[in-house]
Structure 1
Amino acid sequence: MNFQNGWSEELVQNYFSHDYRDRGMTKWQGYYLSDHTSALNKAKHAAARTFPARPQQSQERIGALLANAFANNHPVAIQLASISPDGLFGPDIMGMVRGYTETDVVIGSDEINFETIRNVIVL
């Protein structure tokens, strides 16, 4: 079969089989409009929620709250003292108190050092 411009089907097939390089998604990147980019950035910032600092509790208070939650089988929310480089606290670690070691409390499958705990809320 010959095309109107003089190319044969064999020539076209040979080009696509051996010479043509598909750029994949690269060719579509120019189609993002500023509105799309703005909406994506807003969604990204909404997902990065901030968590307010709760008051620093004493080690005795933290120990008493965790012991009470363990004895009465109540879930807890633990805020760690560590902060991000932006000065923000991360999300609470939530779960059931499963047990203790000398230096750690076991929440679910996580072991948390007592010294890294800022605040505990019994839920």
Structure 2
Amino acid sequence: MPVVLIVDDEPDIRESVQRWLSSAGMSTGFACDGMDCLAQAAKLCPDLIVMDVLMPRMNGITAIRELRNNDKFATTPILVLSASLADENEAYIAGANQVLAKPYQGRQLIQVVQQLLLDETRLSDGKAIST
């Protein structure tokens, strides 16, 4: 069962994402900001991280950079949820694999997460991914 770390400062969003991912057979963990994300990632070793951008203490962009600078998480897929085009560009530059624009449908979220997990599995199996 894949483990997904959900990082968002809004409890309602964390719970909503958790419900959708759990319904698709995924296990989830939570973090309320970028600092908490780094600590929870070290504990959970997630297969994928779903990240908000605007959060207190450490924003999502900084957290992505920190994760990418850590060998343990350098290739962990990161999905950013954002309503801002500027945040989208920054997220990709920081190292996000995918950005899902807010608002989104739960089915969209599940599809993107499943595809990122599939891509990561193919990469770790040493198989090429055609895009």
TM-score tier (shorter):
under 0.3
* Structure with higher strand content: 1
* Structure with higher helix content: 2
In our comparison, the structure showing a higher alpha carbon Rg is 1
TM-score (norm 1): 0.23
TM-score (norm 2): 0.22
